[in-house]
Amino acid sequence: MPWKFPKVYPILDSARFPAEGRAEFLRKLGGELTQAGVTLLEYRNKTAIDDLLLADTEILRAAMPGVKLILDDRAYLVDRCGFDGVHVDAGDVSPAEARTLVGPDRIVGTFGGSDSLLPGILDAPADYLAVGPVYLTTTKETSKAPIGPEGVRHLRQQAGPDRTLTAAAGITFETAPLVLAAGASAVAVAAALFAAPDPAAEFRRWLNALG
């Protein structure tokens, strides 16, 4: 059975990691998320040097066998991490450059637009387009105004029925169904999952509700 993009796309930000016991934290969290049914996860670390990032990704890769792991930004490290793809935004390499770096068989995601799709983005060699911010967010800096579910609906109309759109920013358990109903293929979630006392249990709650 071919792999299908899930409706819930967890984004694990390194800001959530403890100062002590980092390796054991990642090992335990990765195992619990895998058991909870996570099939796709993005690891985001905007500040670490490459060696620290590689240490984190080695642990996650070992703890999450069979899970598609996406690296934020650093396409040149994807192969060394053994990850399954990369997400690139403005200021990173272009989707075309990312595709060249990671090859034809890995996942490439990129920012697709906010109030409207970026010019030419539908021609980019990307497997999914992130759209938003849907709501106010505390985990990523942005100057863009929230677009809400109506904005997602507008972007879906522009993208057509077949493109994978991941809606991001400020999405909660209560608002996720509205965003999916507006046309998002998936909701990308950071704080709403990883600020929970038990992220794996929280993910399972989302999975049971959204499918």
- Domain positions in the chain are 8-210
Percentage of residues in the chain with pLDDT exceeding 90? 91
* Mean pLDDT in residue range 57-70: 98
pLDDT by residue (tens digit) across 118-152? 999 999 999 999 999 999 976 666 678 999 999 99
pLDDT of residue 22: 96
3-state secondary structure of 69: strand
Q: pLDDT class for 2, splitting at 50, 70, 90?
A: low
- The domain 8-210 belongs to what CATH superfamily? Aldolase class I (3.20.20.70)
Task: Work out the angle at residue 171's Cα, subtended by the Cα atoms of residues 165 and 175, and round it to the nearest 5 degrees.
Answer: 100
Q: How far is CA 150 from CA 14, 25, 116, 156, 189, in A?
A: 31, 38, 12, 10, 19
pLDDT of residue 1: 37
